A and B are shown apart, each in its own frame.
Chain A
């Protein structure tokens, strides 16, 4: 008998719909899997063994399908900590909009996944719960910040997962764990209930075993929400209609700036080979230029920490979460609470962001970064006149070793070098498995599209997937 936990959502949906499979069977299978595997992976920060379908009356689009939720997305009554000490014990009194939509469609929320503290990181090592491990090599990082979600999907500990992506936090771990991760267009999915890292960059998206499942999740979570002013009121297409095995005539731009020195040769070979495959399948390959690419990381590391410094100001011990007990007065309470509550990377980013916003530095840093951000956006506008999609590597290297970059924040920041621009420009972008290194570490193909053109992304990704079997390979655990 095949293991239910190893199936995709669309496969399980078929079994539920036509074979009368009960959701509890899927859950039982998953819980057994989690109990035997997660000791090695540590993808979960909380497991809801008693999870069940909440909308009993009707069969929704994800009826009975388990979903793992990144720990920065609010689930009513469930501890939501952003993997930070400062939010220990915080149980949101409300559901994030995406959670409400998942529940309404019959999804089963099986737990919360590990992440870098407040999504600050690319390796899942800054979590207050300790690191999550890469299922393909447990000495290595799963990527981050949605590392728990990606590792759980890769190790068959969940069927679907949600992540959030501020600079690559869905796509980079998806790439390093060999699964599919989509960052939707900024404004496509409601951010209401996503604990903000950088409000102008954050976006919730799916991490799944294949592209079809990504389309299924998008059909549920995408769409206007009056609770989020940045959410765009545009019709939501049926994304499963984009699952077409055809890229003929599709113009795929390859930016010369993305195949830089320092990129891992196996990664480069894998990605170039994938682009060749798309060409062989009928796509037209166009060389394009994105001249401001080199400024993306520095721009990001001004805008994102600046917003974060303000977004994280509310964690002060007054209303919820952790409060230091030995404070002499108000200021002492603030200082002790935040000193003990935040980890080093959070402190680093708060300091950086606070500095950038200070009177006298604002123009030189924040304002200038916003101007460069506009330039980066314009690069893409120009490029998309020549092509429909842009293809690049997702990450410069496969998964690195745990501890390898923790003492060198700058090299850690560079692991998002290819993913950050999509956030700065608000574009949709996907990472799909496109090969393996000699050491059997997954390599990801990264594709970007015009704003609100997730459909083209899905079509290209689906076509690629249907012509390869990288997504079918499973780590030996």
Chain B
């Protein structure tokens, strides 16, 4: 069926930069400390205090901007965004308005198969300060403010309305996060709030040029919720349009419990932020050499690395993309590859069993605790037939649990593969004797019966028999 309406989506990502100190003062940015312990007169907005730009936050911003293929503004200037809220100590936020530090970039979103090759344009990237956090104690008639987060450097990354589906939005965010992690400028942790995303979405009749009425959706604290919220919004807006009703310009909040968006405020209630240039920070001109130095020092980014993995290691496009999607995983792969020869096997293991273990435990590769040399040891034991592939899976789980090396586990549990001909033959003959029915099935032409017989041998040897040898031996005794 031909789609009548198409969605037009733009995303705004807020990224907390992982600097040691805050954007405009010397306070620590450490997360999870006791409320208001990382504060000073500047980030508390005390009378008479003045901001001083954190050079590192600025350089990180330039790094991100360059990695997103943005242009850098010649003159850097900050503005005040004025609004009242108790988590905003000065009741204005130092931000950038008409001259964001960078603009006009793009991210190529290649992952996601079906929609391969989408280029999402970046409208602007600008630096601002974060606000504090309100705490509402239950049953209290008051609220509390924790200003530890106030003044943290925050990068706002805004796309053009280039995105046309929730899936594309999801893929863009995944690609963006991957790049940001490669740059090592943020932990990109959505649960901690170091990466946040808002969306602007409208619909229009397919083929139309003009944009529809825009709705802003907030409060989506995972990429999955972004996808779900956008799907809901497309449905909601399409039904309204089909019913001939008006879509109003408003801000809506995603309710992850009810799986709906709910109206927060309409355009009429929107703030007038009364932006004006921040007089306490002097505009400055960026040294072109500094920008070029940062550009030269940019790390290899995910797309380039995936291409190299295909070329250098002979991996499939899919494996290369999965491995390079996370910088730590890609680094891990390359460390293992240095000491282990069979790259395809390595990729299969990392994308297979290792990934499964990470998912099951909800940890990343670094906290899984399997050193590259330990994985290499395990894989080498399969290669020299000391253990079977199946046993190896159990050994891996054991390694993660006990922090013991593969060799230790295999020898202490007697898991070494049985490759002794005599021993295997003995078991094979035993199994054939006990399973006359299967033997006759096989001989009668039901060749699949051999699978059952192999299974029985493996069972009797507790999985330790060399499967290839078992197969050969069975066939021999079954008269082939």
* Partner-B contacts on A (CB < 8 A): 72-74, 80, 82, 87, 90, 92-94, 96, 191-196, 198-200, 226-230, 306-307, 309-310, 313-316, 318-320, 330, 334, 354, 357-359, 362, 366
- 8 Å CB contact of A354 from B41, B52, B274, B279: B274
- 8 Å CB contact of B276 from A73, A192, A316, A357: A357
Decide if B274 touches A358 in the complex (CB within 8 Å): yes
Could you show 14 A-B contacts with beta carbons less than 8 Å apart?
A74-B47, A193-B49, A194-B48, A195-B47, A196-B48, A198-B279, A310-B80, A313-B82, A313-B92, A316-B86, A354-B274, A357-B82, A357-B276, A358-B272
Decide if A229 touches B52 in the complex (CB within 8 Å): yes
Closest chain B residue to A87, Cβ basis? B47
- 8 Å CB contact of A310 from B41, B50, B82: B82
* Given A316-B84, A358-B274, A229 and B47 contact (CB-CB distance below 8 Å): no
Which residues of B have CB within 8 Å of A320? Answer: 46-47
Query: Cα distance A74–B84 when bound, in Å?
Result: 24
Q: Does B90 contact A (CB under 8 A)?
A: yes
Decide if A90 touches B41 in the complex (CB within 8 Å): no
Query: Cα distance A31–B46 when bound, in Å?
Result: 32
Query: Cα distance A431–B82 when bound, in Å?
Result: 37
Within 8 A of A (CB), among B274-297: 274-276, 279-282
Query: Cα distance A317–B279 when bound, in Å?
Result: 24
Which residues of B have CB within 8 Å of A195? Answer: 47-48
Query: Cα distance A390–B281 when bound, in Å?
Result: 30
Within 8 A of A (CB), among B124-160: 145
Q: In whole Å, how far is A220's beta carbon from the nearest beta carbon of chain B?
A: 19
Closest chain A residue to B84, Cβ basis? A334
* Given A229-B52, A316-B91, A319-B89, A310 and B276 contact (CB-CB distance below 8 Å): yes
Could you mark each residue 70-93 of chain B with 1 if its beta carbon is under 8 Å from any beta carbon of chain A, else 0? 000000000010101010011110
Decide if B274 touches A226 in the complex (CB within 8 Å): no
Query: Cα distance A52–B282 when bound, in Å?
Result: 38
Which residues of B have CB within 8 Å of A230? Answer: 50, 279-282
Which residues of B have CB within 8 Å of A96? Answer: 48
Q: In whole Å, how far is B23's beta carbon from the nearest beta carbon of chain A?
A: 13
Beyond the given A192-B49, A227-B50, A319-B46, please list 19 additional residue pairs across the A-B interface where CB-CB is below 8 A: A72-B48, A92-B41, A93-B46, A94-B41, A192-B50, A196-B48, A200-B279, A228-B50, A229-B51, A229-B53, A229-B280, A230-B280, A230-B282, A310-B92, A318-B145, A319-B44, A319-B89, A330-B86, A334-B84
Which residues of B have CB within 8 Å of A198? Answer: 279
* Given A92-B48, A229-B51, A357-B82, A307 and B91 contact (CB-CB distance below 8 Å): no
Closest chain A residue to B52, Cβ basis? A229
Q: In whole Å, how far is A96's beta carbon from the nearest beta carbon of chain B?
A: 6
Closest chain A residue to B83, Cβ basis? A313
* Given A199-B279, A310-B80, A313-B82, A229 and B50 contact (CB-CB distance below 8 Å): yes
Q: Does B45 contact A (CB under 8 A)?
A: yes
Query: Cα distance A194–B46 when bound, in Å?
Result: 11
Which residue among A80, A307, A313 has the maximum number of chain B CB atoms within 10 Å of its CB? A313
Which residues of A have CB within 8 Å of B53? Answer: 229
* Given A357-B82, A366-B276, A90 and B47 contact (CB-CB distance below 8 Å): yes
Question: When A and B form their complex, which 4 residue pairs have the shortest distance between CB atoms, in order from nearest?
Answer: A313-B91, A199-B279, A357-B274, A200-B279
Decide if A314 touches B89 in the complex (CB within 8 Å): yes
Query: Cα distance A354–B49 when bound, in Å?
Result: 22
* Given A93-B41, A334-B84, A310 and B48 contact (CB-CB distance below 8 Å): no
Closest chain B residue to A93, Cβ basis? B41
Q: In whole Å, how far is A61's beta carbon from the nearest beta carbon of chain B?
A: 24
Which residue among B51, B145, B274 has the maximum number of chain A CB atoms within 10 Å of its CB? B274
Q: In whole Å, how far is A268's beta carbon from the nearest beta carbon of chain B?
A: 35
Query: Cα distance A96–B50 when bound, in Å?
Result: 11
- Chain B interface mostly helix, strand, loop or mixed? loop
* Partner-A contacts on B (CB < 8 A): 41, 44-53, 80, 82, 84, 86, 89-92, 145, 272, 274-276, 279-282
Query: Cα distance A200–B48 when bound, in Å?
Result: 14
Query: Cα distance A36–B29 when bound, in Å?
Result: 53
Which residues of A have CB within 8 Å of B275? Answer: 357, 362
Which residues of B have CB within 8 Å of A334? Answer: 84
Closest chain B residue to A196, Cβ basis? B48
Q: In whole Å, how far is A368's beta carbon from the nearest beta carbon of chain B?
A: 13
Closest chain A residue to B274, Cβ basis? A357
Which residues of A have CB within 8 Å of B281? Answer: 229-230
Query: Cα distance A358–B271 when bound, in Å?
Result: 10
Which residue among B46, B47, B49 has the maximum number of chain A CB atoms within 10 Å of its CB? B47
Decide if A359 touches B274 in the complex (CB within 8 Å): yes
Query: Cα distance A60–B86 when bound, in Å?
Result: 43
Which residues of B have CB within 8 Å of A227? Answer: 50, 52
Which residues of A have CB within 8 Å of B89? Answer: 314, 318-319
Which residue among B48, B52, B84, B89 has the maximum number of chain A CB atoms within 10 Å of its CB? B48
Closest chain A residue to B85, Cβ basis? A330
Query: Cα distance A357–B274 when bound, in Å?
Result: 5
Query: Cα distance A229–B52 when bound, in Å?
Result: 6
Which residue among B45, B89, B280, B282 has the maximum number of chain A CB atoms within 10 Å of its CB? B280
Query: Cα distance A318–B89 when bound, in Å?
Result: 8
Q: In whole Å, how far is A103's beta carbon from the nearest beta carbon of chain B?
A: 16
Query: Cα distance A438–B50 when bound, in Å?
Result: 46
Decide if A226 touches B91 in the complex (CB within 8 Å): no
Query: Cα distance A191–B52 when bound, in Å?
Result: 13
Closest chain A residue to B284, Cβ basis? A229
Which residue among A90, A191, A307 has the maximum number of chain B CB atoms within 10 Å of its CB? A307
Closest chain B residue to A94, Cβ basis? B41
Query: Cα distance A94–B48 when bound, in Å?
Result: 10
Which residues of B have CB within 8 Å of A87? Answer: 47
Which residues of B have CB within 8 Å of A93? Answer: 41, 46
Which residues of A have CB within 8 Å of B49? Answer: 94, 192-193
Closest chain A residue to B82, Cβ basis? A310
Decide if A313 touches B90 in the complex (CB within 8 Å): yes
Which residues of B have CB within 8 Å of A318? Answer: 86, 89, 145
Query: Cα distance A359–B275 when bound, in Å?
Result: 8
Query: Cα distance A228–B45 when bound, in Å?
Result: 14
Decide if B276 touches A74 in the complex (CB within 8 Å): no
Query: Cα distance A87–B46 when bound, in Å?
Result: 11
Query: Cα distance A193–B279 when bound, in Å?
Result: 15
Which residues of B have CB within 8 Å of A193? Answer: 48-49
Query: Cα distance A334–B46 when bound, in Å?
Result: 17
Which residues of A have CB within 8 Å of B46? Answer: 92-94, 319-320
Closest chain B residue to A96, Cβ basis? B48
Which residues of B have CB within 8 Å of A306? Answer: 276
Q: In whole Å, how far is B93's beta carbon from the nearest beta carbon of chain A?
A: 11
Closest chain A residue to B147, Cβ basis? A319
Decide if B272 touches A92 in the complex (CB within 8 Å): no
Q: In whole Å, how far is B358's beta carbon from the nearest beta carbon of chain A?
A: 44
Closest chain B residue to A201, Cβ basis? B279
Which residues of A have CB within 8 Å of B92? Answer: 310, 313
* Given A313-B90, A314-B89, A318-B145, A191 and B50 contact (CB-CB distance below 8 Å): yes
Closest chain A residue to B44, Cβ basis? A319
Q: In whole Å, how far is B223's beta carbon from the nearest beta carbon of chain A?
A: 33
Decide if A362 touches B276 in the complex (CB within 8 Å): yes
- 8 Å CB contact of B90 from A194, A314, A358, A359: A314
Which residue among B53, B92, B279 has the maximum number of chain A CB atoms within 10 Å of its CB? B279
Which residues of A have CB within 8 Å of B145? Answer: 318
Q: In whole Å, how far is B276's beta carbon from the nearest beta carbon of chain A?
A: 6
Which residues of B have CB within 8 Å of A354? Answer: 274
Which residues of B have CB within 8 Å of A319? Answer: 44-46, 89
Query: Cα distance A193–B281 when bound, in Å?
Result: 15
- 8 Å CB contact of A359 from B51, B86, B272: B272
- 8 Å CB contact of A314 from B45, B50, B279: B45
Which residues of A have CB within 8 Å of B84? Answer: 313, 316, 334
Decide if B47 touches A192 in the complex (CB within 8 Å): no
- 8 Å CB contact of A192 from B48, B80, B272: B48
Which residues of A have CB within 8 Å of B279? Answer: 198-200, 230, 307
Query: Cα distance A74–B49 when bound, in Å?
Result: 9
